[in-house]
Each structure stands twice: as structure tokens, then as C-alpha cells.
Chains A and B, each alone.
Chain A
Amino acid sequence: MTHDDRDSRTAPHELLARRLGRRDFLSLGSAALAAAALAACNSRGPKSAQRVLARMQGVNEGVERGLFRHRSVDAPPDRAQLAGAAFPSYFISKHVPVWDAAARGPWTLEVAGAVRRPVRLTMEQLRALPHITQKVDHFCVEGWNARATWTGVRVSDLARAAGGLTPDAGYVDFQSFDDDYHESWDVDSALHPQTLVAYGMDGALLGPAHGAPARLHSPIKLGYKNTKYLTRVVFMPQRNGGYWTDIGYEWYGGT
């Protein structure tokens, strides 16, 4: 007689219990409990986890900064199609922000903070600075990307126009007239050769939907880091959060 014979006469549930053993049931039970606990907390996950997540955000920023190279550039193929009218547009004001020159005087771009010679540039002065045109991607945090041709002044050239940075310039805040929209960057990313203060898009002057008269644009940061309706570029020794960053998106947001 084999053990198989004997077992076949034992009630199945008894057998299963004996075969699996107490420890297995305990392990299974705790796994089920963990799953239930997970389901019980809201879909954001347990509150206690938020501290760990915030810490990991810091770790990831370190990794992203470590990977950052000024030489790494976004280079879509020459035949790449432009998004054109399909390029999404957004702003946080109730209506499309339009600079009201009658009320506010002519638009200017202020370069201030940790620079040797703070300046306030008119559009004419901005356009007189060295400029480039580049066809690059725009990477949105939502997961889409869109291609456009941007014309503008490199932030590094803008810093040069303001006499260069002082040694304490570790960060830079890009501020706008779209309510209180702003986003601060690490200075390395701001000085990347593809980071522009753009006043032209797809061969035309920048339109109000896309941040006229000038906006920040770079493929090296997620879309929300690229302040539109730009008014001030303030270099500073510490970071200054940002509109979406304060809502809870990651501050670094590099690509």
C-alpha cells in the first residue's frame, strides 16, 4: 500500500490543512491582512508612507542631478513633424493672460538676484541678444510630448547679459504675470544650452496661448517647470518651490 492510497481516503480539507501546515496558513493569513489594510486606506496609500515618499523624492533628485550633462541634448530627427495647432496650451488665470501695456506699461524682462549687474530688458533689447532656433520635444508630466520650433535667448546668455552669476547663485526662479505662477530650477539645468527664454514658436512670434510675449522653454525639464508669460528671472541661493511643485509634483522634474 502506498501513502497515496491512504491519503485518497482522507477527507480533502483535512489533507490540505495537514499538507500546508500551520506556518503556511499564518503566512497566507498575514498576506491577506496586508492586502486588506492596503485596501482600507485611501487610494493615495497610507499617510505614514508620505514621509518615505518625500525622502525618495530627494534620492531621485540626487540621481537626476548625477545623470545631468550639459552635453546631453534633445535632438528629434530632421523630418520630425511639428505639433502645430495640436500643441496644448494652459494657464492658471481665468482667461488667457495678455500683457496690458496700457495699464502696466511696456512689457520688460527683469534679470535679478544673484547676478553682478541686474538688468531690465525691453523686448527690443531681448531680441538684440544672441538667439537660437531649435526643434525640440516638450515633455508633459501627463505623459504626452509635442514638438515645436522655438526661437529665443539661452538663459546662459541672459545671465551673461546681467554681468554673470555671483557664486551663491545655486537656483533660479522663473516668475510670470499668469497670476502667481512661477517655478524655480537648479542653476545647472537653467544654464543648459537648450534652456531658452523663447519669444518665437514655429517661425512666428509667440502667441498669447503659448506664453507671449516670452516664456521659458526647455526639453530638459517637464512642461510644468517651463514658466510661460515670463516677467522675472531671479537667481537665488536657495530654491523657491513653484506653482505645481507646491501642489505636490516633484520639484526637480528633469527629463
Chain B
Amino acid sequence: MSESVELPAVALSPSLPSLGGATDAVADAAPRVVRRNHWVVRLTHWVNALALPLMIGSGLQIFSAYPHFARKGEAFCCYPAQGLPIPRWLRFGGWLGGARHWHFAVMWVLVANGLLYLAFLWLHGEWRDVVPRRGDARDALEMAKFYLFARRDHPHQGKHNALQKLAYFTMPVLGAVIVLSGIAIWKPVQLGALTALFGGYAWARYWHFVAMWALIALALGHIFMVLAVDPYSLRAIVTGWYDTARSPERRNARPFYHLFSRPADDAGASEAP
């Protein structure tokens, strides 16, 4: 393993071809530091990270003007928290009109960003990294078992593990639901067919709201897993480069386990020549 001498990653990697989702089964022959995230992915990721809190905060401010879903004079089956105001610290925009201005401005940023990301996934074929395929359900189950200590070693993975893949697939789907239901609320008469598709105005508001919370849950889960399992991926989402020798699979990493490296005995056993 003399070739694993610490070389400055930046000096080593640009001359080597990117392997994208190279797995470490072949890590000895393949470059250790690989190009993982294209600039389009990095840009759209960080635009989302900045714009989504503005969109969520202004949305919650708007919602606070009528924290119910029932049409006037009717009841609504499915929102137990109706009438409960949204905590002030979660809101953004100052007042209903101000929040609407933010919401209807930032929406274009997010829509353009989302379309850029989807166009990139399509044109670069990277949709294969996130669109589920046969076997992913089983792999996701294995990942869950590993995280819950029902399995000892990290399942083999490509660029993303199966749970991660599922999350990264669900996020744009939720994004699409949020955009479409948002348009349905914005233009319930001129685009009434879309509003009807969501079950009418009150239900369109509901799906908009529920999908937002689902997206928040996934985003928080994502942030937690990055920090607790693979903080090395922060480098990949900023500079694009990823150290495959630090992958969770190589470290056998669960949340807060083997965060810095894999214990010597495990590593020696699996990497014996």
C-alpha cells in the first residue's frame, strides 16, 4: 500500500479521469480522490439550501393568515392542528403581503433551479444515480438493518446507498408536487383544471403544505446523515472532489460510528493483499 502515501488531493486528482460513482472495491487501482459532483449539481444544491428556507418561512407566514384548510362553512377531515399559529421564529416576510412578495419572487429561483438540475440529470445520464430500480427496495432494507445494528457490515453501494438514493429521488418528486400544487393555489380559476387535479382549492393548499413538511423532514434527515455519517461529502458538494477511501462503506460508518476512520483490525482484515 505504498501508493496510499498522503498526496495533496488537489495535485493528484485533476490529471486523473473522473470515475463519478466509483466504488472502492477497485480503489487500489482507481484514483482515490474522484470528481463526484458536477458544478451544476453543486450550484443547484446550494441555491436550494439558500432559497428553500426563504420559501418555507414565507410560506408559513402566509399560512398563518388562515391556519386551517376548511372552506368557510365546511369542515376539513385531515388537519388536527387547525387554528394553531405557526411559531413566529419560523416565519419570514414580516406580514402576509410581504411574505407573498417573497414567496412569488423566490418561487422563480427555485423553479429555474429545479429545471436546471433535472435537465442536467437527464442530459448527463445521472438520473441513473437517483431513479430507483429493481433491487433498491431490498438494498434499502439492508441499509436500514445496518443502521439499526441488525447487520454488521455496510452493504455495498455505488455513488449513493439505497436509502440515500431513495431520499434524493423523493426530494425532486416532492418539489414537483409542491410547485404544481402551488400553481394550483395561485391560479385556481385560470388554471382550474390543475386545481381540480389536486381535489380543489382547499386540498391543493393541503398537499402543498404536507409536501413541504415531507421535504423539510428529508432535508433535515439529509443534513443529519451528512454530519453524522459522511462529513467528507461536504467537500464533494463544495469543490466536487470526493475521497473514496473515506466513503461510509470503507469506514463501515453508521451515524456517529467510525466517523474518522475504520478501526485498524477491520480495515486490515478487509484490505489484506
Contacts and interface: CB of A to CB of B under 8 A. Distances in A.
Interface stretch (B69-77, B117-125, B153-161, B214-222): B69-77
Interface stretch (B13-21, B96-104, B129-137, B166-174): B96-104
A33 interface: no
Interface residues on B, range: 35 or more
A144 B71 contact: yes
B235 A20 contact: yes
B229 to A, nearest CB: 14
Interface stretch (A95-103, A172-180, A242-250): A242-250
Contact of B97 (A1, A43, A248): A248
A209 B62 CA distance: 26
Interface in B46-74: 46, 49-50, 53-54, 62-63, 65-66, 68, 71-74
Nearest to B6: A3
B66 A140 contact: yes
A241 to B, nearest CB: 14
Contacts of B65: 141-143
A57 B101 contact: yes
B147 interface: no
Interface string A132-159: 0000010111111111000000000000
B72 A83 contact: yes
Contacts of A220: 189-190
A79 interface: no
Contacts of A67: 187, 190-191
B260 A2 contact: no
Nearest to A1: B1
Contacts, number: 178
Given A23-B239, A24-B235, A139 B268 contact: no
A83 B191 contact: no
Nearest to B106: A56
Nearest to B251: A4
Interface residues of A, number: 66
Contacts of B49: 31
Interface string A30-62: 010010001000111100000011101101100
Given A8-B260, A60-B104, A139-B188, A81 B73 contact: yes
A12 B93 contact: no
Interface in A107-164: 137, 139-147
A15 interface: yes
A204 interface: no
B30 interface: no
B5 to A, nearest CB: 8
Given A24-B234, A24-B239, A53-B102, A83 B71 contact: yes
B245 A3 contact: yes
Interface string B184-226: 0001111110000000011001000000000000000000000
A82 interface: yes
A28 interface: yes
B105 interface: yes
Contacts of B54: 45
Contacts of B4: 2-3
Contacts of B73: 81-87, 146-147
A92 interface: no
A5 interface: yes
B261 A144 contact: no
B146 interface: no
B243 interface: yes
A253 B100 CA distance: 11
A28 B231 CA distance: 12
A81 B200 CA distance: 14
Interface in A216-230: 219-220
B94 interface: yes
A107 to B, nearest CB: 28
B165 interface: no
A247 B260 contact: no
9 contacts: A16-B260, A21-B239, A28-B234, A38-B53, A45-B102, A140-B66, A141-B100, A144-B66, A219-B189
The 5 closest A-B pairs by CB, nearest first: A44-B94, A86-B73, A146-B72, A83-B73, A56-B105
Given A38-B53, A86-B73, A145-B201, 4 more contacts: A2-B267, A4-B261, A81-B74, A255-B190
